[in-house]
Structure 1
Amino acid sequence: MAEENKSCTFRTSIGGQALIEGVMMRGPEKQAIVVRDQEGNLVEKVEGLKFIKDRYPILGMPLVRGTVNFLAAMVNGVKALMYSAEFYPDEEVSQPSKFELWLEKHLSSKKLEQAVVGLAVVLGVGLSVFLFMVLPTFITGGILHFFPGFPMWGRNLVEGLLKIAIFLLYLIFCSKQKDIYRVFQYHGAEHKSIFCYEAGLPLTVENVRVQPRHHPRCGTSFLFVVIFVSIVFSSIVFGIWPITNVWLRSLIHLLLLPLIVGVTYEFNRWVGRHVQDSGLAKVLTAPGMWLQNFTTNEPDDGMIEVAIRSLELVLPSEKGKDEW
């Protein structure tokens, strides 16, 4: 009975990401990418992990590590997506542009990959910041331009509601795309396999299939909490300093972003440990769990097989080393 209770309360630090016809899992020692190619075979790629906090301990400190880990996850995620996309090239092959030819001539393949990954991360972060922080500020400023006497608390409220609305519309739009639907199925398979492992059950398709597809430590929940924390922080800051200039407000949003990500990361760590034994943690994770209705879909058995294999490849050599 004690062993059963232990397995039910075990929480792993292993996390993953859905790819194009594949799943990436990241454990305490290794990272694994498993993709099902066009012939139906499972292609595996396993790499040992080196953590930047081991070289620079200060980057592993609370509040600092959130931003560091977020950026590292973005870089690894883009690389994994690019790798999985190689197995499903575009059917229409066009002639390379002059710019592409110039890049191939002046950059090695490794440097070219680093440049593409760096650009993708910058664009990804930039688009997120623009959509969920800058755009709501400008829309609010445009609307309230016609109401100069509008109170600051009201401005903060309108801006916060717009952030949530844009985020919801973005998730709904993505969930309706046919190509994204299958990726979200793999996302569901990733969650189910981790739940199965945390429950102490053998990693079989049958055991994984019946698990929930909504996981409290999902990246969707993280992004929602980032937006919620940004609303709280901006309400406090602009409540003390009532700034209405949209450019200055946007700049302050950007300056607060590393702190917001850091606080959100620490919050998610606490929730991850206590979501099963704390009513407060369950309430706090409820909105993020609900949002996973848009970012996860029920997988088929083939997708579950991919997720299981990816998880198996990153299980630590020492049992319990991955405990959250």
Structure 2
Amino acid sequence: MTTQQPKKCITSIGGQALIEGILMRGPKRIEVAVRTPDGSIDSEELKYVPLWDRYKILRLPILRGVSSFIDSLMMSSKALNMSTEKSGMAEIEAEESESKFDQWLDKHLGDKLGGVVMAIGAVLGVLLALLLFFMVPTILFNLISNAAGPSVSGWRSPFEGVLRLLIFILYMGLIGYQSDVKRMFQYHGAEHKTIFCYEAGLPLTVENVKKQGRFHPRCGTSFMVLMIIIGVFVGIFIPFSNPFLRTFVKLLCIPIVMGLGYELIRYCGRHENRLTHFIAAPGLWMQRLTVKEPDDSMMEVAIAAMEKVIPENGEDRIKA
């Protein structure tokens, strides 16, 4: 008598770590599961219609990468708000940050305060990202080029790419020491391990999830690393050395870089060979910083979200 082996598959289901919770996105449903202050799991469907369901042209190669990234940002914002409220983090932050100045702002600005703060934070965040990831590498290489002469001009794009990657690694490494971020990275691990468990054809239990690996080729961290690497090759064809002009052209190239990165991640998620191992290697290494080993309670949350998005007709299964 032979024992039937679990049927393995590759799934299109993906996820994201939240504050004390996890988002799982299936072909028909998006679920947000959060561990509440009383220890229970609150699971709720997130209503969102993807861009490529609204505009069919966005399903085309390259364009689908851009639309998928925008969808991820929109869903992430909604899901994070949900998890912040359900986990009780919003109340904690309000109590800790309340001051006489906050009370004055709340009195005079009222409901507009949240929007003003978010707008200012978003603008400052974008400006800081442009400065660190685009302008600083260009300015530093210009200083080196002025000192060494035109013989080093061919190294501009590799230098800028490596420096951007180092800044990214340093940033991820530093924020990982914060307790809240570390827990989010652990939920990231629970998300990956749960998807691996489902793809292995095993029942979704904590014991089965615990046995799985935590580094997945279709991870957002891998996507970011691939974008930086692809940006090196794109940057070779940008002739400008002026920091502002070069940054402007790089921003125009972001949709192309994003689209190419998405196609490579998609290919790596559907195939397993030497080429995909080579492409995925930098991103998998980087996940050592952003994907941590979860505890049992986190895996329970991931399972709760996963079970709600698995379709009965198997339309999530991808043919390699």
What TM-score do you get using the length of structure 1 for normalisation?
0.87
C-alpha contact (below 8 Å) 1:216/1:272 kept by paired residues = yes
After superposition, give the CA deviation of every residue in 1:74-119 in whole Å (9 maximum; x if it has no partner).
1211221122112223242515455555654569xxxx77x88777
| Separation (CA, whole Å) in 1 of partners of 2:220 and 2:47 | 23
Instruction: Report SS of the residue matched to 2:96.
Output: coil
| Separation (CA, whole Å) in 2 of partners of 1:222 and 1:306 | 25
Matched residue, 1:176: 177
Please state how far the C-alpha of 1:317 moved relative to its aligned partner.
Answer: 3.2
Matched residue, 1:69: 68
Unaligned runs of 5+ in 2: none
Unaligned runs of 5+ in 1: none
C-alpha contact (below 8 Å) 1:196/1:203 kept by paired residues = yes
| Separation (CA, whole Å) in 2 of partners of 1:11 and 1:190 | 15
Aligned pair 1:283/2:278, yes or no?
yes
C-alpha contact (below 8 Å) 2:27/2:315 kept by paired residues = no
In structure 2, which of residues 283, 286, 296 is the aligned counterpart of residue 301 of structure 1? 296
Query: Residue type of the partner of 1:294?
Result: L
Please state how far the C-alpha of 1:282 moved relative to its aligned partner.
Answer: 1.0
Matched residue, 1:20: 19
Matched residue, 1:192: 193
Aligned pair 1:252/2:249, yes or no?
yes
C-alpha contact (below 8 Å) 1:75/1:118 kept by paired residues = no
**Structure-2 change in CA distance of 1:120 and 1:272 (3 Å):** farther
After superposition, give the CA deviation of every residue in 1:124-172 in whole Å (9 maximum; x if it has no partner).
5654444323332222223433334343212223222212211211121
Matched residue, 2:96: 92
| Separation (CA, whole Å) in 1 of partners of 2:123 and 2:300 | 33
C-alpha contact (below 8 Å) 1:191/1:215 kept by paired residues = yes
Matched residue, 2:30: 31
Please state how far the C-alpha of 1:181 moved relative to its aligned partner.
Answer: 0.9
| Separation (CA, whole Å) in 2 of partners of 1:99 and 1:65 | 42
| Separation (CA, whole Å) in 1 of partners of 2:109 and 2:22 | 30
Aligned pair 1:313/2:312, yes or no?
no
**Structure-2 change in CA distance of 1:18 and 1:228 (3 Å):** same
| Separation (CA, whole Å) in 1 of partners of 2:204 and 2:249 | 47
What TM-score do you get using the length of structure 2 for normalisation?
0.88
Q: How does 1:153-172 map to 2 (within 5 A)?
A: 153-172=154-173
**Structure-2 change in CA distance of 1:35 and 1:217 (3 Å):** same
Identity %, equivalent residues: 40
Q: CA RMSD in A?
A: 2.5
Please state how far the C-alpha of 1:200 moved relative to its aligned partner.
Answer: 0.4
Matched residue, 1:218: 219
Q: How does 1:81-120 map to 2 (within 5 A)?
A: 81-86=80-85, 87-88=88-89, 89=91, 90=93, 91-95=95-99, 96=102, 100=106, 104-105=110-111
**Structure-2 change in CA distance of 1:44 and 1:123 (3 Å):** farther
**Structure-2 change in CA distance of 1:228 and 1:150 (3 Å):** same
| Separation (CA, whole Å) in 1 of partners of 2:241 and 2:140 | 12
**Structure-2 change in CA distance of 1:311 and 1:250 (3 Å):** same
Decide which moves more: 278-287 or 127-136: 127-136
| Separation (CA, whole Å) in 2 of partners of 1:72 and 1:283 | 28
**Structure-2 change in CA distance of 1:145 and 1:21 (3 Å):** same
| Separation (CA, whole Å) in 1 of partners of 2:5 and 2:48 | 31
| Separation (CA, whole Å) in 2 of partners of 1:205 and 1:118 | 41
Aligned residues: 310
